[in-house]
């Protein structure tokens, strides 16, 4: 049996229910573990042990008095520092919000609280979720538990690394262009980004509102289903939140009839630049599904080659508008040297934002400016529609699309320092999914010869989470990639 900190929620639930473990003991194990390894990993920006233990004690008391709140009661979930938890820091890994304490709970956080989850820890990320390596945090770098000279991916690098290192059982991240799936792939864990609108964005500090979505980082598919069932659902405080019947992905997994499915392989996702070891893992996964009765079909998504530039126009445009609120006047960093109003804005923003955030605000302001709006922003929106239609077309023929989650395994820290464009291009497998608003997940599907995890992506049709979760679980239950742990 694995040490407690490497177990799944499902296994821990059994131990809690059998009286073999208390939430307090579990919390202490995780605190000890993070004390032991986080100086090497750097997943957490903030941890409040006193508060975490108090939440654990409260869960134990509920269980004792028979008032348990459900399957997640007493389960610690660590949170990316972009989601508001009342009374906890909310920095978005930015100097701009260095001293900010959240006055309220995000929609998904209220739901986890209602289930009795222990919400502890603030996880490192790229500043305002802009990046693919967690190197853009204003405070620290996070390291990949499998090789600490490498990045954990990003922007939810802290979330994925914490789970992979056994510092957290599960974590929440956010995914605007792949920020849950790519770090999950780099760190050898499961990352799920549901359909846009499934999870409230209220209390998620906005980067690119039409693309942002909360996602889960867990060890297993079953754990992802448990968490998703808890956090999906309508929220009147988010105007893009979908009002749908309650999800029951846990039941969907339990009731999977193993019917053969049609899986599409898009040639655009297997082009030049794909690492041969990643390709080999995809080939093995395709063989697995074939031998388990699935039909593998070649498909084409002709416009996805434009997804990365389209994304960087739309995302930066939205970011330039969303980040205008950080003005030095209200709750943000305020420059000490400002002597008039204009100065106050410009100096506070110059001091508060890091280089990547500034680069994106500049780009976004440019593409929205008079004279350029039609040429860039409007055209990008039109191509976004074409990309969505490509997927719609494909999903008339197939039930799911399989691809790598990222073209390479985790790259060395600093590898793209001089060339942000190369880093932007590495998001080519994940970004089209956000542009189309579809659900997708990344699950461990192998290792490179040097021991780095490889992740496969399964993309579903809109609201088709249950289908891809089922497919993923079939693969997971026949392999043990997610049972392997880094030596730390
Ligand atoms: N890497 C992408 C970006 O930098 C995606 C980030 C995200 O999903 N938050 O924008």
Rounded Cα distance between 387 and 23, Å, is: 46
* Entry field: residues in the chain: 488
Instruction: Average the pLDDT over 60-81 and give the result.
Output: 97
pLDDT in tens, 366-393: 999 999 999 999 999 999 999 999 999 9
| pLDDT of 58 strictly over 90 | yes
pLDDT in tens, 236-288: 999 999 999 999 999 999 999 998 899 999 999 999 889 999 999 999 999 99
Active site residue 155: yes
What's residue 134's pLDDT? 98
Contacts of 365 (CB under 8 A, 6+ apart): 320
Rounded Cα distance between 294 and 291, Å, is: 7
The atom of ligand 1 lying closest to the CA of 130 is: 4
Rounded Cα distance between 404 and 479, Å, is: 17
- For residue 401, the SS3 value is strand
CA end-to-end distance (rounded Å), the chain: 18
Rounded Cα distance between 306 and 165, Å, is: 36
Phi, psi of 257 (to 5 degrees): -85, 5
Active site residue 193: no
Return the DSSP state at 414: T
Angle between helices 379-394 and 307-322 (to 10 degrees): 130
What's residue 453's pLDDT? 98
Q: Distance of alpha carbon 445 from its chain centroid, rounded?
A: 18
Instruction: Average the pLDDT over 389-399 and give the result.
Output: 98
* Active-site residue (options: 8, 23, 34, 80): 80
- Reading across the β-sheet that carries 440-447, which strands appear in turn? 44-46, 118-123, 76-80, 171-174, 214-218, 190-193, 440-447, 453-460, 400-404, 262-266, 295-299
What's residue 165's pLDDT? 98
Q: Which domains does the chain have, with CATH numbers?
A: 10-263+396-483 (3.90.1300.10)
pLDDT in tens, 113-122: 999 999 999 9
Neighbour-count burial of 163, counting CB atoms closer than 10 A to its CB (0-12 exposed, 13-18 middle, 19+ buried): buried
Written as six digits, the tokens of 377 are 């922003």
In order, the DSSP letters of 21-81 are --HHHHHHHHHHHHHHHHHHH--EEE--HHHHHHHHHHHHHHHHTT---STTTT-EEEEET
Question: For a substitution probing ligand 1, which of 80, 152, 177 has the most ligand atoms within 8 Å of its CB?
Answer: 177
Instruction: Average the pLDDT over 292-315 and give the result.
Output: 97
Return the DSSP state at 295: E
| pLDDT of 135 strictly over 90 | yes
Rounded Cα distance between 330 and 325, Å, is: 9
Contacts of 477 (CB under 8 A, 6+ apart): none
Instruction: Average the pLDDT over 144-167 and give the result.
Output: 98
Instruction: Average the pLDDT over 154-178 and give the result.
Output: 98
Pocket of ligand 1 (CB under 6 A): 129-132, 155, 175-179, 207, 315, 427
> Ligand 1 centroid vs 155 CA: distance in angstroms?
6
Q: Whose CA is nearest to atom 4 of ligand 1?
A: 131
> Ligand 1 centroid vs 50 CA: distance in angstroms?
33
The atom of ligand 1 lying closest to the CA of 315 is: 10
Active site residue 335: no
| pLDDT of 330 strictly over 90 | no
b/e per residue, 455-469, with b = 16+ CB within 10 A? bbbbbbbbbbbbbbb
The atom of ligand 1 lying closest to the CA of 178 is: 8
Neighbour-count burial of 10, counting CB atoms closer than 10 A to its CB (0-12 exposed, 13-18 middle, 19+ buried): middle
Written as six digits, the tokens of 422 are 């190369």
What's residue 422's pLDDT? 83
- Evaluate whether 173 touches 160 at the Cβ level (below 8 Å): yes
Q: CA-CA distances (angstroms) from residue 372 to 306, 316, 424?
A: 19, 14, 22
The atom of ligand 1 lying closest to the CA of 174 is: 9
* Active-site residue (options: 102, 155, 241, 442): 155
Per-residue pLDDT band at 331 (split at 50, 70, 90)? confident
Return the DSSP state at 444: E
């Amino acid at each position: 049996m694995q040490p407690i900190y490497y177990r799944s929620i499902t296994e821990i639930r059994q131990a809690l229910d059998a009286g073999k473990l208390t939430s307090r003991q579990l919390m202490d194990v995780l605190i000890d573990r993070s004390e032991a390894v986080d100086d090497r990993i750097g997943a957490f920006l903030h941890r409040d042990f006193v508060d975490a233990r108090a939440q654990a004690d409260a869960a134990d008391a509920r269980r004792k008095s028979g008032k348990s709140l459900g399957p997640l009661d007493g389960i610690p979930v660590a949170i990316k520092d972009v989601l508001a938890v009342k009374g906890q820091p909310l920095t978005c890994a930015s100097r701009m919000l260095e001293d900010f304490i959240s006055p309220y709970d995000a929609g998904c956080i209220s739901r986890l609280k209602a289930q009795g989850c222990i919400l502890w820890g603030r996880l490192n990320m790229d500043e305002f979720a802009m990046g693919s390596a967690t190197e853009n945090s204003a405070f620290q770098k996070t390291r990949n538990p499998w090789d600490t000279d490498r990045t954990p991916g990003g922007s939810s690098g802290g979330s994925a690394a914490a789970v992979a290192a056994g510092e957290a059982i599960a974590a929440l991240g956010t995914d605007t262009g792949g920020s849950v799936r790519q770090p999950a792939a780099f760190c050898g864990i499961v990352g799920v980004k549901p359909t846009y609108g499934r999870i409230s964005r209220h209390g998620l500090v906005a980067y690119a509102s039409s693309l942002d979505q909360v996602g889960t980082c867990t060890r297993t598919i079953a754990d992802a289903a448990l968490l998703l069932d808890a956090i999906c659902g309508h929220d009147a405080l988010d105007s893009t939140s979908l009002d749908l019947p309650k999800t029951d992905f846990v039941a969907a997994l339990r009731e999977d009839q193993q019917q053969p499915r049609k899986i599409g392989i898009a040639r655009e996702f297997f082009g030049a630049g794909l690492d041969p070891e990643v390709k080999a893992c995809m080939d093995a996964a395709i063989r697995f599904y074939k031998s388990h009765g699935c039909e593998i079909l070649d498909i084409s998504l002709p416009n996805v080659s434009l997804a990365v530039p389209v994304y960087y126009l739309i995302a930066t445009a939205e970011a330039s508008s969303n980040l205008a609120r950080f003005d030095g006047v209200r709750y943000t960093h305020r420059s000490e040297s400002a002597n008039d109003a204009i100065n106050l804005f410009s100096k506070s923003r110059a001091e508060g934002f890091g280089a990547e955030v500034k680069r994106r605000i500049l780009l976004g302001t440019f593409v929205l400016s008079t004279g350029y709006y039609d040429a860039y922003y409007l055209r990008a929106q039109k191509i976004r529609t074409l990309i969505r239609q490509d997927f719609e077309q494909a999903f008339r023929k197939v039930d799911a699309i399989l691809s790598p989650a990222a073209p390479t395994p985790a790259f060395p820290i600093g590898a793209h320092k001089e060339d942000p464009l190369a880093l932007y291009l590495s998001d080519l497998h994940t970004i089209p999914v956000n542009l189309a608003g579809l659900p997708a997940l990344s699950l461990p599907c192998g290792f490179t010869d040097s021991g780095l995890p490889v992740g496969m992506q399964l993309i579903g049709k809109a609201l088709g989470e249950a289908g891809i979760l089922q497919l993923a679980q079939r693969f997971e239950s026949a392999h043990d990639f997610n049972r392997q742990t880094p030596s730390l």
